[in-house]
């Protein structure tokens, strides 16, 4: 049976706060071997002091952008940019967050979410004696689908994939490509109990202890699809413009 619940009593997190201590205090003696804690990236960023003075959020997004995938300006003048950031993640606004931050600042994603997750997991294992895993989650939109969902951007001591390749389905047919991203599924399940405005940034998932392992397991960075296998590296308008330009250049050189 899968159980998911949010921890109560975690205060507003500030730069320099000890997240291990705050989470352990909120959990009390309630953690057990095999539990997976899903920690909202915002409190990790706050504890790590990832604030940037930026009255212009667009400038902050530009500073975090490695590659622009697509950009659209809508009626009224607002612009949406889908970009790749230094973590390899493709998302709107490079993960730059302007909500619930001090006036005149924005919050960047953790510099190395996998390292942060491993550090929190190691600290909680030492402090509580429970062999737990940690996922760090963030909210992303989805290609071709409206709305947002939470996904894992950092992992410590948790298998991020459940590899079913080589096994058989219920009809006895071999599975060749089935590789559920259980880290993302757990992050989304945790968001159902954390909520967006409830000030409950940490949830505990119990019932998937089979996914908890050594701290040096591959992190969430392994979820990011390599560029050579990315079939959607550009937005439709951008791909058309690039192809049109290449065609004109080829014609001119011929």
pLDDT of residue 163 exceeding 80: no
241: left (phi over 0), alpha (psi -120 to 50) or beta: alpha
pLDDT of residue 122: 98
Instruction: List the one residue out of 117, 60, 53 whose CA is nearest residue 93.
Output: 60
Half-sphere exposure for 146 (CA within 13 Å, toward CB): 0
pLDDT of residue 176: 61
Q: Is residue 102 part of a domain?
A: no
pLDDT of residue 70: 92
pLDDT digits (tens, 9 = 90+) for 164-219: 666 666 767 766 667 789 999 999 999 999 977 678 999 999 999 999 999 999 99
Q: Is residue 17 part of a domain?
A: yes
Q: Is residue 116 part of a domain?
A: yes
Domain membership of residue 134 as a residue range: 3-47+112-223
pLDDT of residue 101: 80
Q: Is residue 231 part of a domain?
A: no
pLDDT of residue 11: 93
Residues 139, 107: Cα–Cα separation, whole Å: 14
Q: Is residue 74 part of a domain?
A: no
| Whether this model's pTM surpasses 0.85 | yes
The answer to which of 129-133, 153-157, 211-215, 246-250 has the lowest mean pLDDT is 246-250
pLDDT of residue 129 exceeding 90: yes
pLDDT of residue 58: 84
Helices (H) and strands (E) in the chain, counts: 6, 10
pLDDT digits (tens, 9 = 90+) for 90-127: 999 998 988 778 778 899 999 999 999 999 999 999 99
pLDDT of residue 5 exceeding 90: yes
Q: Is 157 exposed, middle or buried (0-12, 13-18, 19+ CB in 10 A)?
A: buried
Q: Is residue 64 part of a domain?
A: no
CATH assignment of the domain containing 193:
3.30.1330.100
pLDDT digits (tens, 9 = 90+) for 17-39: 999 999 999 999 999 999 999 99
Strand order in the sheet with 133-142: 3-6, 202-206, 36-40, 133-142, 145-156
pLDDT digits (tens, 9 = 90+) for 46-100: 999 999 887 778 888 999 999 999 999 989 888 889 999 999 999 999 989 887 7
pLDDT digits (tens, 9 = 90+) for 231-243: 888 888 888 888 9
Q: Is residue 152 part of a domain?
A: yes
- Number of independent structural domains in the chain: 1
pLDDT of residue 188: 96
């Amino acid at each position: 049976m899968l159980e998911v619940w949010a921890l109560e009593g975690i205060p507003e997190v500030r730069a320099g706060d000890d997240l291990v201590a705050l989470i352990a205090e909120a959990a009390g003696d309630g953690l057990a071997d095999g539990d997976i804690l899903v920690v909202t990236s915002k409190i990790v960023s706050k504890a790590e002091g990832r604030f940037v003075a930026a009255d212009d959020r667009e400038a902050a997004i530009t500073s975090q952008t490695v590659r622009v995938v697509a950009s659209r300006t809508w009626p009224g003048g607002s612009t949406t940019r889908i970009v790749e950031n230094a973590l390899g993640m493709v998302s709107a606004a490079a993960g730059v967050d302007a909500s619930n931050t001090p006036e005149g600042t924005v919050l960047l994603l953790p510099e190395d979410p996998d390292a942060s997750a491993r550090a929190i997991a190691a600290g909680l294992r030492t402090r509580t004696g429970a062999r737990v895993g940690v996922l760090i989650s963030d909210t992303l939109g989805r290609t071709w689908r409206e709305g947002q969902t939470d996904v894992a951007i950092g992992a410590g001591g948790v298998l991020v994939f459940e590899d079913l390749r080589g096994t058989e389905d219920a009809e006895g047919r071999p599975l060749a490509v089935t590789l559920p991203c259980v880290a993302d599924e757990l992050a989304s399940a945790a968001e159902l109990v954390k909520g967006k405005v409830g000030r409950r940034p940490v949830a505990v998932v119990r019932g998937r202890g089979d996914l908890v392992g050594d701290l040096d397991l591959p992190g969430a960075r392994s979820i990011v699809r390599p560029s050579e296998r990315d079939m959607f590296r550009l937005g439709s308008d951008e791909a058309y413009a690039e192809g049109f330009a290449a065609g004109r250049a080829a014609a001119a050189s011929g």
